[in-house]
Amino acid sequence: MARTTANCLVFCNKKRSIYNSQLSVIDTKFLDRGISYLDFPSNLGKPCHIVGSCNGLLCVAYERSKKQTGKRLYLWNPATGKVKHIPENTNVNNIDIYDVSIGFCFDFSSSDYKVVRIVKEDGFASERSRVVMYSLIKNYWKEIKVELNFKVIDYICPAIVKGSIYWIIVLLDQEQFALLSFNVKSEIFRTISLPGSIMCRQDTSYICLFEFKESVALIDEKDDEDISIWTLDDDSCWIKKFTISSPSLITEIVGCLKTGEFVGTNFVETDLAGTNFAGDIVLYDSVNNMVENTLFKLAAPRTYNYSESLVNLNYSSRSFPKKGTPIQLLKTRTRSGSLVSANSFKVWYQD
């Protein structure tokens, strides 16, 4: 299967636990180069989520102490080893708030990196939701004035396309599913109807969003049934692009590469209780209807497109501690070349 270079970032919660996480990078041009494992810095606590990936920067959320809610947020450039702590938001009381959803996006109009948080505050007669946005250039948070008449489904924003963040939501006044978009330049929210067969579902267990060739893509999948892939045309019209009729080869779609290939899994239950799963990460070429096994296994993965960059986090950046070995490169075959820049890190190869 011929392809151009397109790194894929895979975040995995081993044993479905936020305290037992790994981060992997695969190069889809040469799968036999192997997988690169990146360890989170130990002195920052226990990482629980990758919020997003933009131009080689990762936004990472960490747990707070037991007496605090919300998350500690960091920007991390794995290629340079630099990290920046995103300051606390003074507009909300961090002890009495919790995150509903977080998104990380690049604003092309200002060349700025922005983090959007939808939060709820306790202590009111009814919980109050608010939206705040952080600017890396300005290094502060601002509140977005908006009336929230919806419930966000995903804690981590599942799709970011052309400077807009997208979520699947429940419209509280209509009790049906819809798509919500937020443009980080105009700071405007919009609701978009989902395909008719989806909007009135009872749940979203088999629905997910991601970016597909600079468009919003919607996956509709059910156990032992075909997988339908829809794309949104100009934020107004849904088009069914593909139907994958190989549930035995792909049990779930978890993301899409810049090349247009889909990242999937072929998980199977390994115990009678149905609580443990094992399987491989696979790539699906929709043009040629081919499935290729990547030869590595992950449980409950999330995927992000990732490419190395030298984006500077400015004067407030600091290096990750050099305790242990933050990066481990694995080669499954004897092919030269590393997948991840290893500046100021110890690196070893395991054949």
pLDDT band at 330 (very low <50, low <70, confident <90, very high): very low
Model confidence at 203, pLDDT cuts 50, 70, 90, reads low
What pLDDT does 327 receive? 30
Q: What is the mean pLDDT of the chain?
A: 72
For the chain, the distance separating the N- and C-terminal CA atoms, rounded to the nearest angstrom, is 24
Least confident of 64-78, 82-96, 216-230: 64-78
Q: Is residue 69 in a domain?
A: yes
CATH label of the domain that carries residue 188: 2.120.10.80
Flag whether 20 is in a domain: yes
Neighbouring C-alpha atoms within 13 Å toward the C-beta of 190: 15
Average pLDDT over residues 296-320: 68
Flag whether pLDDT at 97 surpasses 80: no
Structure confidence at residue 118 (pLDDT):
87
As a whole number of Å, the CA-based R_g of the chain is 20
Residue 314 in tokens? 């400015």
Whether this prediction's pTM lies above 0.75 is answered by yes
Tell the residue number behind the tokens 């960490």, with chain if given.
62
- 237 domain-assigned: yes
pLDDT score, position 185: 94
The yes-or-no verdict on residue 338 having pLDDT over 60 is no
CA dist., res. 151 & res. 165, Å (int)? 15
Judge whether 318 lies within some domain: yes
- Per the domain annotation, does 299 fall within a domain? yes
Cα 298 from Cα 158, distance rounded (Å): 19
The answer to whether position 144 is within a domain reads yes
Higher pLDDT, 154 or 345: 154
**pLDDT for 127:** 55
Decide if pLDDT at 100 tops 90: no
Average pLDDT over residues 115-138: 78
At residue 139, does pLDDT exceed 80? yes
pLDDT at 339 over 50: no
Per the domain annotation, does 2 fall within a domain?
A: no
CA distances from 347 to 79, 129, 134 (A): 13, 45, 34
CB-based contacts of 70, cutoff 8 Å, min separation 6: 64, 94, 97, 98, 99, 119
> Average pLDDT for residues 316-338, to the nearest whole number?
30
| Bridge partners, residue 212, by sequence | 215
The domain total for the chain is 1
What is the pLDDT averaged over residues 317-343?
Answer: 29
Domain that holds residue 18: 7-350
Cα separations in angstroms, 115 against 5, 73, 109, 184, 318: 28, 9, 15, 9, 20
User: Average pLDDT for residues 297-322, to the nearest whole number?
Assistant: 65
Higher pLDDT pick, 60 / 244: 60
Task: Specify the DSSP element, H or E, that contains 199.
Answer: helix 196-199
Q: Compare 220 and 110 and report the one with higher pLDDT.
A: 110
Contacts 24+ apart (CB under 8 A), 170-174: 173/149
172 has pLDDT over 90: no
- Going by their DSSP bridges, the two strands 327-330 and 349-350 should be labelled as parallel
Rounded Cα–Cα distance for residues 228 and 222 (Å)? 9
What are the φ and ψ backbone dihedral angles of 14, each rounded to 5 degrees? Answer: -65, 135
Given the structure tokens 């035995």, which residue do they identify?
248
Gap between the Cα atoms of 150 and 174, Å rounded: 10
Does the structure show a pLDDT above 70 at 169?
yes
Q: What is the mean pLDDT of residues 196-208?
A: 72
Backbone angles phi, psi at 264, to 5 degrees: -135, 180
pLDDT at res. 299: 64
Q: What is the mean pLDDT of residues 283-305?
A: 76
| Residue 188: predicted pLDDT | 92
Cβ 322 vs Cβ 344: under 8 Å: yes
Edge-to-edge strand list for the sheet holding 97-107: 97-107, 112-121, 128-135, 140-144
The more confidently predicted of residues 246 and 76 is 76
- Within-domain flag for 1: no
